[in-house]
Amino acid sequence: MKRSYLFVLLVAVLLLAGCIEYKKPAAAVNKDKGLDIAKELAEIEKSLNKTPGTSPSGETVKEPVKEEKPSVSETDKAGLQRLEVLETEWVNLQAKVSDQDKDKIEYSFSPPVDKMGKWKTNYGDAGDYIITITASDGKSTTKKNVLLAVKKKNVAPIIEPIPSLTVKEGETISLTPKVSDPNKDQVKVTISKPLESGTWKTDATSAGVYNVEIKATDGEFETKALTQLTVTDVNQAPEIKLSGEKITIKEGEKVAIKPEVSDADGDKVKVTISNPVGDDGEWQTSFTDHGEYDVLVAADDGKGGKATKNVKVVVEDVNIPPEITDVVLVK
């Protein structure tokens, strides 16, 4: 830049010298011209060699201050041109610039856009950004700030697919859905029965197929997902409870066996009692029935679950005195 300025000044001096008529002899004129040019060049060199911060005339020149990226406060936003986009949209900024000298202008943008003014926003980028546009013609630089407002584009939470679940009766099942939110919002997750707490301890009556619904909401949008839970039956054998395993009576008395039968699966149970008592559980003894009897009480749920109990019945002998039923005349 200094050399260009020196060359232009030199040409101007030569032209000026050619236009002035001198009365001195040609040799003297040429000598004076050389002295004048040398003197002028010395002055130019002197001015160009001045320390930074001064102009050729000696006036103080303020050095450009480096601008830091301002924090986005309400004060900073005031008066700025506002540009708006939604999250996930492309930002494509173009600056309209002009130069009265018709110089070639180059300009660039500050982050978060790239130097060309482009930026692919994403979920979670919502917020206000101050973008600085810097334009230069190679001799001077101009800067301008604009406000880029990225508006939130809310979308529903995402629930990852949940495979079907299968457990056996008596096992514990836990379900923890994997849920995410593109906007990074807080998400509330709920699960329908029987997994409303996220964990379920099945029992002998839990067999069946359950449609489980999972809901995830960010307070505005809600996402639903379904999965199927199958609890396979594990058959439980019936249980028999008796008041005692030995019954002692006397001849002529009644035997009564009343078993209490239960089934953990809730299955219908068939109960049988062997002879001489019978399925009704009652036996009226006679005076000839004394002795010991092994009676079998059996329970069957029809699904392979069976249970048995043995009852010993002791019928004690009761002596009956002879009875005179009639008196007849014998000839």
pLDDT tens-digit readout, 254-313:
999 999 999 988 889 999 999 999 999 999 999 999 999 999 999 999 989 999 999 999
CA distance 89 to 123: 10
Q: Are 155 and 123 contacting, i.e. CB atoms less than 8 angstroms apart?
A: yes
Q: For position 168, what pLDDT does the model report?
A: 95
The pLDDT value recorded for residue 14 is 54
pLDDT at 4 over 90: no
Instruction: State both tokens at 234.
Output: 């594990």
- Closest by CA to 148, choosing from 174, 110, 177, is 110
Residue 278 in tokens: 């019978």
pLDDT tens sequence across 67-91: 343 457 777 778 899 999 999 999 9
Closest to 253 measured CA to CA, from 285, 275, 280, 278: 285
Q: How far apart (Å, rounded) are the C-alpha atoms in residues 217 and 224?
A: 9
Name the residue among 88, 196, 69, 193 with its Cα closest to residue 130. 69
How far is it, in rounded angstroms, from Cα 35 to Cα 43?
A: 12
- Phi and psi angles of residue 7, each rounded to the nearest 5 degrees, phi first: -65, -45
Across the range 166-192, mean pLDDT stands at 94
Report the greatest alpha carbon distance in the chain. Answer: 214
| Over residues 241-257, mean pLDDT | 95
